[in-house]
């Protein structure tokens, strides 16, 4: 019998976190929630705790009040030190990193350092510090399995060939809500328009990233580190139906793709049960219906974020940290009505161009580059 896997879900109240709990509900014989952590959604966390009865519940924010009348058996903690203890607890074997933004990096680092299986939904961990995270994972034996749907697809496709005979990976992009628009038609985009995604239902930050295609830029950088690729080995194709989640091409010209309805519960389950593929909660393909698949070249003029992604992947070093940090601030400022839609990518490009590039930064140098880029992006004016 396969032993029960004890899981800590970091970011359990977000979109990936709740999908993860859906998966666990369906595989109670294989997966057990041992720890739940949320930043500040304490009510939701309480509901999850009363359903899953984990050993640990951690609330990240120092200002949120933990309510009275909690169930027995769950120990409640607050703050990042406790999060570290949860990740390192010997009874935890799998850590789901589902926090949003660069704030997820310390937790991913801790899990990798402790040699756990890491179901990685926080792409920023690799965008910011991919070289250090992958090196540490190789040293500790931590198994890093991506939850990002594109990278999960690539991970799955790579099982069908030899790594040294891989020619390239092709990331699919839905194209977001503004696919097909020219650059001039993007000037008046409001936050409300950018927050409507045609195929994926996600949090606001990633939905805006999808509209600018900065999400794909982050995924290019993520893929570069996760799979040890050169930037030239990564391509992007626009696939509006979001049914093919990415493809890999081998030296013989064969292209392998992973196809399934858009549903994050599939890549989450794959990461939690790898290498098993069991019937689960994810939506299934209806083979009685006609399906049309389009694969279109991306428009780099309308969506210059893609170009920045390729550049940052090629240069490596501090570029990922700077690109990501500038983008996090620019998206916040756009949602707050301070910046136009087209300015988001412009801020990122300007901050990237002005930064002090370091080819082999340490973790503290990466964090300093991240802080510097945030300050620059806050100051940025047209
Ligand atoms: Mg993705």
In terms of phi and psi (left: phi > 0; alpha: psi -120 to 50; beta: otherwise), the region of 242 is left
Cα–Cα distance, 233 to 55 (Å, whole number): 44
Going from the Cα of 64 to the center of ligand 1, the distance in angstroms, rounded, reads: 31
Tokens standing for residue 166: 């891989």
- Between 146 and 63, the more confident residue is 146
Distance, C-alpha 222 to centroid of its chain:
9
Going from the Cα of 245 to the center of ligand 1, the distance in angstroms, rounded, reads: 8
pLDDT in tens, 76-116: 999 888 999 999 999 999 999 999 888 899 999 999 999 99
Cα–Cα distance, 219 to 222 (Å, whole number): 5
Over range 307-312, report the average pLDDT.
98
Going from the Cα of 219 to the center of ligand 1, the distance in angstroms, rounded, reads: 7
Going from the Cα of 148 to the center of ligand 1, the distance in angstroms, rounded, reads: 5
Q: DSSP per residue over 56-77, as a string?
A: EEEE--SSPPPPSSPPTT-EEE
Going from the Cα of 116 to the center of ligand 1, the distance in angstroms, rounded, reads: 23
pLDDT in tens, 235-248: 999 999 999 999 99
pLDDT in tens, 18-58: 999 999 999 999 999 999 999 989 999 999 999 999 999 99
Cα–Cα distance, 73 to 56 (Å, whole number): 9
Per-residue pLDDT, 159: 97
Per-residue pLDDT, 30: 97
Q: Are 187 and 342 in contact (CB under 8 A)?
A: yes
Per-residue pLDDT, 197: 73
Cα–Cα distance, 31 to 69 (Å, whole number): 27
Query: Looking at the domain that runs over 162-258+296-379, which CATH code has it been given?
Result: 1.10.1740.10
Residue 40 has what DSSP assignment? S
Going from the Cα of 135 to the center of ligand 1, the distance in angstroms, rounded, reads: 23
Q: Is 127 helix (H, G, I), strand (E, B) or coil?
A: helix
Going from the Cα of 311 to the center of ligand 1, the distance in angstroms, rounded, reads: 19
pLDDT in tens, 353-382: 999 999 999 999 999 999 999 999 999 987
Going from the Cα of 177 to the center of ligand 1, the distance in angstroms, rounded, reads: 15
- The answer, as to whether pTM is greater than 0.85, is yes
Over range 159-171, report the average pLDDT.
97
Per-residue pLDDT, 168: 98
Per-residue pLDDT, 62: 80
Going from the Cα of 173 to the center of ligand 1, the distance in angstroms, rounded, reads: 8
Over the Cα atoms of the chain, what is R_g? 20
Give the Cα-Cα-Cα angle 227, 232, 235 (nearest 5 degrees): 80
Per-residue pLDDT, 69: 63
- What is the architecture, at CATH level 2, of domain 5-146? 3-Layer(aba) Sandwich (3.40)
Per-residue pLDDT, 24: 98
- The answer on pLDDT for 67 being more than 80 is no
Residue 187's Cβ-count burial label (10 Å; 0-12, 13-18, 19+) is exposed
What's the start-to-end Cα distance of the chain, in Å? 62
pLDDT in tens, 1-16: 788 999 999 999 999 9
Closest C-alpha among 252, 359, 345, 254 to residue 304: 345
Torsion, Cα 327 328 329 334, to 10 degrees, reads: 80
Going from the Cα of 39 to the center of ligand 1, the distance in angstroms, rounded, reads: 22
Over range 203-218, report the average pLDDT.
94
Please report which residue ranges of 280-362 form alpha helices under DSSP H: 305-315, 319-335, 341-354
pLDDT in tens, 312-360: 999 999 999 999 999 999 999 999 999 999 999 999 999 999 999 999 9
Of the listed ranges 150-154, 203-207, 318-322, 350-354, the least confidently predicted one is: 203-207
- The answer on pLDDT for 226 being more than 90 is yes
Distance, C-alpha 137 to centroid of its chain:
18
Sign of CA dihedral 15, 21, 26, 27: positive
Of the listed ranges 158-162, 188-192, 203-207, 274-278, the least confidently predicted one is: 203-207
Going from the Cα of 267 to the center of ligand 1, the distance in angstroms, rounded, reads: 10
Going from the Cα of 356 to the center of ligand 1, the distance in angstroms, rounded, reads: 29
Fold agreement (5-146, 162-258+296-379): no
Going from the Cα of 147 to the center of ligand 1, the distance in angstroms, rounded, reads: 8
Q: Is 246 helix (H, G, I), strand (E, B) or coil?
A: strand
Please report which residue ranges of the chain form alpha helices under DSSP H: 15-26, 42-52, 80-88, 105-113, 124-140, 149-158, 191-194, 204-212, 214-226, 265-273, 305-315, 319-335, 341-354, 363-379
From residue 347, give the alpha-carbon distance in Å to each of 115, 145, 271: 37, 32, 35
Quick one: angle between helices 341-354 and 214-226, nearest 10? 40
Going from the Cα of 293 to the center of ligand 1, the distance in angstroms, rounded, reads: 18
Going from the Cα of 127 to the center of ligand 1, the distance in angstroms, rounded, reads: 13
Cα–Cα distance, 171 to 216 (Å, whole number): 8
Per-residue pLDDT, 25: 97
Going from the Cα of 121 to the center of ligand 1, the distance in angstroms, rounded, reads: 9
Give the Cα-Cα-Cα angle 173, 177, 178 (nearest 5 degrees): 90
- Rounded to the nearest integer, the mean pLDDT of the chain is 95
Per-residue pLDDT, 70: 65
Q: Are 234 and 168 in contact (CB under 8 A)?
A: yes
Going from the Cα of 126 to the center of ligand 1, the distance in angstroms, rounded, reads: 13
Question: Each residue of 248-269: b (16+ CB within 10 Å) or e?
Answer: bbbeeeeebbbebebbbbbbbb
Of the listed ranges 70-84, 142-156, 286-300, the least confidently predicted one is: 70-84
Domain boundaries, the chain: 5-146, 162-258+296-379
């Amino acid at each position: 019998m396969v032993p029960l896997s004890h899981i800590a879900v970091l970011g359990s109240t977000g979109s990936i976190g709740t999908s993860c709990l859906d998966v666990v509900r369906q595989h109670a014989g294989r997966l057990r929630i041992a720890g739940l952590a949320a930043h500040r959604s304490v009510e939701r966390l309480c509901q999850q705790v009363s359903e899953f009865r984990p050993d640990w519940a951690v609330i990240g924010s120092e200002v949120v009040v933990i309510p009275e009348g909690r169930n027995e058996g769950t120990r409640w903690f607050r703050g990042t030190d406790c999060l570290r203890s949860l990740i390192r607890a010997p009874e935890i074997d799998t850590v789901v990193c589902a926090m949003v933004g660069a704030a997820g990096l310390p937790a991913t680092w801790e899990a990798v350092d402790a040699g756990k299986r890491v179901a990685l939904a926080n792409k920023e961990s690799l965008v910011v510090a991919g070289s250090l995270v992958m090196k540490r994972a190789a040293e500790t034996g931590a198994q890093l399995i991506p939850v990002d749907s594109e990278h999960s697809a690539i991970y799955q496709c790579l099982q069908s060939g030899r790594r040294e005979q891989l020619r390239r990976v092709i990331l699919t992009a839905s194209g977001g809500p503004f696919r097909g628009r020219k650059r001039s038609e993007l000037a008046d985009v409001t936050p409300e328009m950018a927050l409507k995604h045609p195929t994926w239902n996600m949090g606001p930050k990633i939905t805006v990233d999808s509209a600018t295609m900065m999400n794909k830029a982050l995924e290019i950088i993520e893929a570069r580190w996760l799979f040890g690729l050169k930037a030239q080995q990564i391509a992007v194709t626009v696939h509006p139906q979001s049914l093919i989640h990415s493809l890999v091409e081998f030296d013989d010209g064969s292209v392998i793709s992973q196809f399934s309805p858009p549903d994050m519960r599939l890549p989450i389950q794959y990461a939690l049960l790898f290498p098993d593929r069991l019937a689960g909660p994810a939506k299934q393909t209806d083979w009685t219906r006609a399906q049309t698949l389009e694969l279109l070249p991306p428009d780099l003029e309308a969506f210059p974020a893609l170009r920045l992604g390729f550049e940052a992947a090629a240069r490596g070093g501090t570029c990922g940290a700077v690109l990501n940090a500038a983008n996090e601030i620019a998206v916040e400022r756009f949602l707050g009505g301070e910046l136009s839609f087209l300015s988001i990518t412009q801020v990122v490009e300007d901050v990237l161009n002005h930064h002090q590039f370091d080819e082999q930064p340490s973790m503290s140098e990466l964090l300093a580059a991240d802080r510097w880029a945030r300050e620059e992006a806050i100051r940025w004016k047209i």
